[in-house]
Amino acid sequence: MREEIIARDNDTCLRCGMDRETHRDQFGRDLHVHHRIPRRRFYNDPDRSVDDADIPSNLLTLCIPCHRRLERMPVQPVVG
């Protein structure tokens, strides 16, 4: 699923546009795939399965700096 999401997002961070190759060169790691609604919110929800956290509409590609910024926000914006 991870590779599908990165490919769907054109191998770039959806917030700043950093491409996959630049990210690997700069950070020595691949782009991240972020859960808009965190997986932890699915664990005790009787109406949703934990697997629902991994549906494509809940996932987006981010670089490390953008992922860190987004994780600190109280409300996740819709990107893309």
Indicate whether 21 belongs to any domain: yes
Q: pTM here?
A: 0.83
How many separate domains does the chain show? 1
Domain for residue 36, yes or no? yes
User: How confident is the model at residue 53, as a pLDDT?
Assistant: 92
Q: Would residue 77 count as lying in a domain? A: no
Residue 79 counted as domain residue: no
Residue 49 domain boundaries: 2-71
How far, in Å, CA of 5 to CA of 10, rounded?
9
pLDDT, one tens digit per residue, over 25-77 is 999 999 999 999 888 888 888 888 888 899 999 999 999 999 999 888 765 55
Is 17 part of any domain? yes
The identity of residue 22, as a single letter, is T
pLDDT the model gives residue 47: 85
The pLDDT assigned to 75 comes to 56
Res 45: pLDDT? 82
Scanning 1-80, the segments in alpha helix (DSSP H) are 2-8, 20-27, 40-43, 64-71
Give a yes or no: residue 28 inside a domain: yes
pLDDT score recorded for residue 78: 57
